[in-house]
Amino acid sequence: MTAPALDRTELTRALSDQWDELARVTAGLDEDRWRLPSPLPGWTVFDVLAHVVGTESMLLGEPLPQAGNDVRAFDHVRNDTGALNEMWLESLRPLPGEQLLRRFVEVTDRRRAALAATDDDAWQADIRSPIGVVPYGRFMRVRLFDCWMHQLDITDALGGDAAALGTNEGGRRAELAVDEIEPFLGRVVVKRGKAPDGARITIELTEPVARAIHIRVDGRAEVVAELDRPADTTIRLGSSLFARLCGGRSTAADHRAEIEIAGDRELGVRVADNLAFTL
Question: Residue length, the chain?
Answer: 279
Distance CA 160, CA 142 (A): 24
Cβ atoms of residues 24 and 165 within 8 Å = no
Q: Where are the domains of the chain?
A: 8-159, 176-273
Cβ atoms of residues 255 and 241 within 8 Å = yes
Fold of domain 8-159: Four Helix Bundle (Hemerythrin (Met), subunit A) (1.20.120)
For 176-273, the fitting CATH number among 3.90.600.10, 3.30.1050.10, 3.40.30.10, 1.20.1260.10 is 3.30.1050.10
Model pLDDT for residues 206-250, shown as the tens digit of each residue: 999 999 999 999 989 999 999 999 999 999 999 999 999 999 999
Distance CA 173, CA 11 (A): 9
DSSP 174-208: HHHHHHHHGGGHHHHHHHTT-PPTT-EEEEEEETT
Model pLDDT for residues 31-56, shown as the tens digit of each residue: 999 999 999 999 999 999 999 999 99
Question: pTM score, two decimals?
Answer: 0.92
Which residue, 236, 24, 252, is CA-closest to 147? Answer: 24
Along the 279 residues of the chain, how does pLDDT read in single tens digits?
A: 455 557 899 999 999 999 999 999 999 999 999 999 999 999 999 999 999 999 999 999 999 787 666 655 555 656 666 567 778 888 899 999 999 999 999 999 999 999 999 999 999 999 999 888 999 999 999 999 999 999 999 999 999 889 899 999 999 999 999 999 999 999 999 999 999 999 999 999 999 999 999 999 998 999 999 999 999 999 999 999 999 999 999 999 999 999 999 999 999 999 999 999 875
pLDDT at 278: 76
Distance CA 243, CA 248 (A): 9
Q: What stretches of the chain show up as alpha helix (H) in DSSP?
A: 8-26, 31-34, 45-59, 80-92, 97-117, 120-124, 136-157, 162-165, 171-181, 185-191, 239-246, 265-272
Within a 10 A sphere around the Cβ of 5, how many other Cβ atoms?
6
